[in-house]
Homo-oligomer: A and B are copies of this chain.
Amino acid sequence: MTITITAFERSPDGGKGLARDTRVRWALEEAGLPYDVRLVSFRAMKEPAHLALHPFGQIPTYEEDGLVLFETGAIVFHIATHHGALLPADDHARARAITWLFAALNTVEPPILELVTARIFEGDKPWSKERIPLVEERVRDRLKQLSARLGDADWVDGDFSAGDLMMVSVLLRLRPSGILDEFPVLAAYVARGEARPAYQRAFAAQLAVNAP
């Protein structure tokens, strides 16, 4: 069985590990699975061959034994369920870990994406200076709640799971803004994620492609 994922030929972040292939690389490393990477240019991402794999013209995709998946959350979930890592065996604990996977992607990430959009794609707009603090407050609202729930636990619910992998990955996107460091509980949580050997291997692998 060969697993092949796609990644940016050249990541817009220059190797900071914020492109979504890093999340999939991390899950594969936690599961101990070797994988191949096919690099895709921005132009090729919008062409029919890639759109057949990913209808929204993005990376990463995942190919394994005739199965084609897109969407990072689904790929991480597939790795977690089919390769025995990243999800607890107990039924209730497993459902809760999956809950955190969805929470990372649908509750915590959307305001963070809004902030990225506000800074990068609307940074030159006349409203940018006045609007960004509003968007930052929405991010802080979520982080306060997440920080309160995490408290002094190492991970969001018991052992490290796919939920933590995704939550840490989502929070990492905030680092350039400085907001993460306003929440010491969350900054330490992210640091615990980054300290995992599997994360470090994933980070190094994407850096090898994208180093300036």
Contact = CB atoms under 8 A, between A and B. Distances in A.
Chain A at the B interface: mostly helix, strand, loop or mixed?
helix
Interface in A88-140: 92, 95-96, 98-103, 105-107, 109-110, 113-114, 117, 122, 125-127, 130-131, 134
11 contacts: A56-B103, A56-B146, A67-B92, A67-B96, A71-B107, A73-B106, A75-B99, A77-B102, A114-B117, A122-B131, A125-B131
Interface of A: 51, 55-58, 66-75, 77-78, 92, 95-96, 98-103, 105-107, 109-110, 113-114, 117, 122, 125-127, 130-131, 134, 142, 145-146, 148-149
A22 to B, nearest CB: 16
A107 B113 CA distance: 11
Contacts of A149: 55
B99 A71 contact: yes
A85 B72 CA distance: 24
A194 B66 CA distance: 33
A73 B102 CA distance: 6
A114 B138 CA distance: 12
Contacts of A68: 96
A101 B101 CA distance: 13
Nearest to A93: B67
